Chain A
Amino acid sequence: MTSTLPLAGVRVVDFTWVIAGPVSTKWLAAYGAEVIKIERYAQGERVNRGAMSPDSVVSFNNINVNKSSLALDMRQPQAREVVRKLVAISDLVVDNFSPDVLPKWGFSYDELRAINPRIVSVSMPALGATGPHRNYRGLGSYFQARAALDGLIGYPHREIVDAGFAYADTTCNSAHATIAILAALRHQRVSGQGQHVELRQLESAINFLGPSLLQYTSGGGEPERMGSRSAFRSPHSVYRCAGDDEWCAITVAGDAQWHALCGAIGHPEWVNDPRFASVLGRKSNEADLDAGIQAWTESRAPVEVMETLQAAGVDAGAVQNIADMLERDPQVAHRGFYVRFAEDAVVESVPFKLSAATPTIQREPPPLGADSIRVLRDLLSMPSNEVRELIEAGAVGVAE
């Protein structure tokens, strides 16, 4: 089966940890790349695998399935020699360490290139390998704050909302990393040339601002926090529905959708109401408009609101929670987005489906060090006695 997957034959030396890096290599592994996860043997399961709580184990498993585990103590020269041999027969090295870590082990890009001129090396430092803040540290949530993304969430009359989690990891930074990896691999395939790609997590995150900076520098001011409203479309909001904390988002683009909405919610007369004839009119009378829409939604369940409006061709989306997604959403179920192995073992599939290629999604990653012996013996052709010596010296870890 593997041979039909598009990335079959791509070998990855994966030093990434925490979230952003592992998410980006999860998709490579799902579509056939051989991703060899280098894990820090000396630090054990807790640091490597988030074994602090059942939640973080599920989270680790979700983003590391289908990778191989090679456990190394990188402080030891023999472990670094193993990496050198692996780099020589791989396509890609990827890491999300601070900028000094790989060079400290002898794996700067120049050193990697000396081992394998075709190698693609992608690193994901916080702020950059150079610059006045190269040594600053942060988590995903810190980059999204500094990137001006966090400041856009909330209502104009209220303080900033804390999204509550490091979304930069699972959005801009992992997606841009995968794109950088694949683009550099494509160039490698076409030209034979390797290269280094530096994905600075702050710079990457800023790219999700869209045209906001152009708007600011042309005199348009700071983008306002809008709740769920839009400066350019109306109605465009989230409306209370029947039940406790139940809501449905409704937006209208263009006259056809507006007329359809008026009909669907029992206000055909609004089509001819001069207050609501244009977007501008609806924006200036938005309080009345929203009250009228909510009078219709608040006696109906969100799914009923959504389905009624969608049947009329109007954009509507129920505010769902994770339980709705997992257990009740027929679309998500149809597409098999959650791969459920057991009550407490669910893994997300890949957010891009390819025809004629079913992504490989496993229940969980191999135990720490489970692939060490196989990698050394089969990929690196090391004799058994050498492998045994490395294990005895503690340079290489194996699963128990």
Chain B
Amino acid sequence: MGPLHGLRVLDLCTEAGVYCTKLLTDLGAQVIKVEPLDGSPERRRPPFFKGDAASSLSFLHYNRNELSVTLGLALDEGRRLFHELVKASDILVEDGLSPQLGLNYEAMRQINPSLVYASITGYGSTGPRAGWAYSDLSTQATSGIMYRIGFPEDPPNSMGAEFAYHQASGHATAGILTAVLGRDAGGEGRHVDVSIQESMSIMQYDALPTYITRGVLIKRAGHGQGSSGKRYRRIWDTKKGLVRFQLVSQTSDREWPLLLDWMAESGAGGELRDERWNDSEERTAHLLEIEAVIDPWFRGIEARTLMHQGQDRGVMIMAFNTVGDLLDDPQLVDEGFLCDIDYGGEALTDVGPPYRFSETPAEVAGSVPELGEHNREVYLGVLGLSDRELSRLEQAGVV
């Protein structure tokens, strides 16, 4: 059982908040996905399994182990039933549906004062831009991140894999748990208000200090500009794959002789054995010369071999993985991080949980709920409706 066992969550998310409710589910909360009668749009989100638009891998990833109920929120009776669900829940999470559904914190608080209500929206729930349309891309733009990512001659780039949505969902989850702890200590429920723009903006820890102390804006530099403004190389080609390695770092003085000894094992790097270069400022002043010696040596060895050899010798160097490379990354495989998923008889692999709890381990395997699969369990078991009432609601098109 996860650490959040016993908490009940209503999930009204379709995009930005789906990672939030996944995190809560994996931590052991009972998460009820409240879907319209034709299913949440999330069930139709790409990517798809073998191109089949009825089999969303996104839905599989974000909704495993959630419960699904259907509910027509546009109908009076549907809204009444929803209010009963709100009374019986600890947490509600939504990501911008509220205007259409008449959902908002003030209204829900009247129904359940101890409810923790989280909204994840582009710009937050107050201010001149509350209610604006948003996407992962446009919030990355307004947050200040895109301005500095990319090559100078290209348009600004964005982070991949719906990065802004993951970031905002993480912060919403932290906010929800903060509010739950406060409530459990004798307080009331709260509104957790996450602006994706703000959430993404904290990602750049260097832009704010650089600007307010020196008036400098960090611009797109493709490869090789450190936050300090010093240019040095940090991504290197190898015989196969890329590595991260930098000649300028907090530990580079300690690592420099280790690097030379390592190169010497294969007869390389003799020209770098120069007294002057034991001094980090001298090395920094002659980076290009040094890089020109290391570069061809790296290109003769595969990335993972460089990582293993270097790290074993105390040199900080890391191989890039592609997504497929994760499947045979020795540390991840040996430590059982990856998670096997049975998807209708197909063996797929997904990522494991982001943390390991000693007493309350997370459960991330499992399957996705069919639409309305848990109507009986929730409406009878949680709300105490009778079979007859449920049949009537079904016939009336409410569930």
Contacts and interface: CB of A to CB of B under 8 A. Distances in A.
Contacts of B61: 210-211, 214
Nearest to B131: A310
B138 A170 contact: no
A7 B331 CA distance: 36
Contacts of B204: 165, 167, 170, 322
Given A9-B185, A58-B212, A176-B355, A203 B195 contact: no
B192 A354 contact: yes
B124 A353 contact: yes
Interface stretch (B67-75, B161-169, B277-285): B161-169
B98 interface: no
Nearest to A210: B161
Contacts of B170: 171-172, 175-176, 179
Contacts, number: 502
B398 interface: no
Nearest to B210: A55
B337 A203 contact: yes
Given A145-B242, A165-B227, A330-B127, A170 B348 contact: no
A146 B184 contact: no
A321 B182 contact: no
Interface stretch (B314-322, B371-379, B381-389): B314-322
Contact of A334 (B126, B168, B323, B351): B126
Contact of A238 (B3, B156, B185, B206): B156
Interface string A342-358: 01111011011111110
A169 B205 contact: yes
B181 A152 contact: no
Contacts of B58: 210-211
A8 B184 CA distance: 12
Interface residues of B, number: 152
B311 interface: yes
Nearest to A134: B331
A210 B133 contact: no
A352 B174 contact: yes
Nearest to B233: A162
Contacts of B151: 158, 161
Interface stretch (A187-195, A364-372, A375-383): A187-195
A107 interface: no
Nearest to B347: A217
Contact of A317 (B134, B191, B353): B134
Contact of A204 (B6, B138, B354): B354
Interface string A324-363: 1110011110110100000111101101111111000000
B178 A27 contact: yes
A74 interface: no
Contacts of A186: 3-4, 177, 180-181, 184
Contacts of A197: 355-358
A211 B323 contact: no
B320 A337 contact: no
A251 B137 contact: yes
Contact of A127 (B146, B331, B349): B331
B206 A222 contact: no
A158 to B, nearest CB: 7
B211 to A, nearest CB: 5
B331 A353 contact: no
Nearest to B20: A179
Interface stretch (A65-73, A81-89, A135-143): A135-143
B203 A62 contact: no
A105 B223 CA distance: 40
Contacts of B307: 136
A10 B321 CA distance: 39
Nearest to A227: B157
A53 B228 contact: yes
A313 B133 contact: yes
Contacts of B355: 176-177, 179-180, 197-200, 203-204
Contacts of A291: none
B57 A214 contact: yes
A150 B348 contact: no
A7 B182 CA distance: 6
Most buried by B among A199, A253, A317: A317
8 contacts: A145-B318, A162-B234, A176-B170, A179-B354, A199-B355, A210-B61, A213-B351, A217-B349
Given A175-B171, A217-B327, A247-B146, 6 more contacts: A162-B221, A179-B170, A202-B331, A211-B60, A353-B175, A353-B193
Closest 10 CB pairs of A and B: A6-B182, A152-B160, A317-B138, A352-B175, A175-B170, A182-B177, A58-B209, A334-B127, A187-B3, A211-B61
